[in-house]
Structure 1
Amino acid sequence: MRPRLLVITGATAVGKTDLALELAQRLDGEIISADSRQIYCQMDIGTAKPTPEQRAVCSHHLIDIAEPDETISAGQIQHLIADAHAGIAARGRLPMLVGGTGQ
């Protein structure tokens, strides 16, 4: 059987992060960011990254993993998401893919 994946998507500022955090606590989940801008370090303003307090609630993946001058392709992101998903599932936890539209 393939590992489960819970997906939460929607427009910016509709409450995805709060919902994801609540579900992660209830369902023993870890959050994988599917936001193309949250991968970059030093880009906290305008990206709606989870706060340090929110990140302390559960493990987050693919946030602050690249420098702003690095180019990351969609294919690279796909592989990073797949790797995070596999690692989370291997630990017996629920992978949760969370992202928005940036609008």
Structure 2
Amino acid sequence: MMAVASLGVQRTLKKSILPPLVVILGATGTGKSKLAIEIGKRLQGEIISADSMQVYQGLDVITNKVTAEEQAQCRHHMISFVDPLVTSYTVVDFRNKALPLISSLPQVTAQEAPLQWSP
């Protein structure tokens, strides 16, 4: 079954001057990463992880990081770039790295973004 966004939503997106931004929030183990990959593939977007533990290198099993195979399906950022022995990494450090990254990502216009979803 295919769900199609309403005409009102389509018109609003087409008038938008900002590119689509999807934020996925939820409890641990609810499938956020899988959903993000599916949406990223459909929108030809990229994923910026905001998981406080997945920034650390080498903690893949503990944090249930996406696999290399999953990362190959849709480009991921902000994963495994901090040495876990560095104890002074803060949310401000994360923000300072994430903001320029967000600005540098390719922009997808609302006219290019597909508005259909089939689970």
When the two structures are superposed, what TM-score results if normalisation uses the length of structure 2?
0.71
1:29 aligned to 2:49?
no
3-state secondary structure, aligned to 2:72: helix
- Contact conserved, 1:40 with 1:63, CA < 8 A, in 2? yes
Is 1:47 matched with 2:63? yes
Within-5 A mapping of 1:1-103: 1-70=17-86, 71-88=88-105, 91-93=106-108
Percentage of identical aligned residues: 38
Classify the secondary structure of the residue corresponding to 2:25: strand
CA offsets 1:37-65 (integer angstroms, 9 cap, x no match): 10111111220110111001111001011
- Asked if the contact 1:30–1:93 (Cα under 8 Å) also holds between the matched residues in 2, the reply is no
Which structure is higher in strand share? 1
By how many angstroms is 1:92 displaced? 2.2
Runs of 4+ in 1 over 6 A off after TM superposition: none
Residue 49 of structure 2 aligns with an amino acid whose one-letter code is S
What secondary structure is seen at the aligned counterpart in 2 of 1:6? coil
Deviation at 1:84, TM superposition (A): 1.7
1:44-89 CA distance string (max 9 Å, x none) = 122011011100111100101111111211111112221221111x
Superposed displacement of residue 2, structure 1: 4.7
Pick 1 or 2: higher relative contact order, CA cutoff 8 A, min separation 6: 1
Alpha-carbon distance between aligned partners in 2 of 1:29 and 1:68, rounded to the nearest angstrom: 28
- Unaligned 5+ residue runs, structure 1? 95-103
Task: Note the C-alpha offset of 1:4.
Answer: 3.9
Q: Aligned pair in 2 of structure 1 residues 82, 4: CA closer, same or farther (>3 Å)?
A: farther
Query: Which consecutive residues of structure 2, in runs of 5 or more, have no partner in the other structure?
Result: 1-16, 110-119
Superposition deviation, residue 16 in structure 1? 0.5
Q: Which residue of 1 aligns with 2:114?
A: none
